[in-house]
Amino acid sequence: MRAMGLQAQRGRRHRPPTPDSRPDRPIAPNRLGRSLGAERPDTVWLADLSDIPTDEGFLDLAALKDLATREILGWAMAEHLKVGLCSDALVLALQRCHPGRGLIHHRDRGVPYASGPYRAVLEPHGIQPSMSRRGNCLDTAPMESFLASLKTERVHEARVRTRAEARAAVFASIEVFDKRQRLHSALGYRTPVEARASMAAITLRKAASNSDLTPPHQGGRSKPGEEPVRAED
């Protein structure tokens, strides 16, 4: 890069106000255990919040990321950080993916994620809440990496004048570039969309293989708890 006159773009230093952790809120156990990978889609989702600076003021962003495919499944933006913002991102992810019961939903101890309305969305779908320890962001490193890249590549590279421009930049980054064009080393240099399709195909092949290995029921054989069938004379 030095020979070609290129240099890496660096993000700006900024410490925005973040949602605090209150002891009176219910705290979920850490079910993730610092595991930074998953074998199948829709088994572990990471959730986090960030803010996008504009000349009109900050615009808050809530997003959920699949740990297996590194895909941003649901996201929402609003001018004010409220519980509804996080719930909107979660509902979008649920509508897109329809995960099975037992999905681990991991996030920090921020007030929006520990609130009753947010937990009311998780519980009917059988989603297991999981939270990091206080002051520990290593559990959500893939999500932190996404948010840092989003700001460095899409927001800080040019002056964002309006919130409308910020929304358009975030949409293009998530729905176009990150899902369908960005190659992730953790995925074998595939895009999240390619990784999800590949993992889904593997799951289908395994299911078909297990079905082929199941012996068919043969006539004349008794079922458990029944008297054996005897041949007629």
**The whole model's pTM is what?**
0.79
So where are the chain's domains? 44-193
Which of 24-38, 99-113, 165-179 is predicted least confidently?
24-38
pLDDT (tens digit, 9 = 90+) per residue, 136-183? 667 788 999 999 999 888 777 778 899 999 999 999 999 999 999 999
Cβ neighbours for 130, distance < 8 A, ≥ 6 positions apart: 28, 29, 30, 31, 32, 104, 105, 106, 107
Which of 82-91, 122-131, 151-160 is predicted least confidently?
151-160
Question: Domain 44-193 sits in which CATH superfamily?
Answer: Ribonuclease H-like superfamily/Ribonuclease H (3.30.420.10)
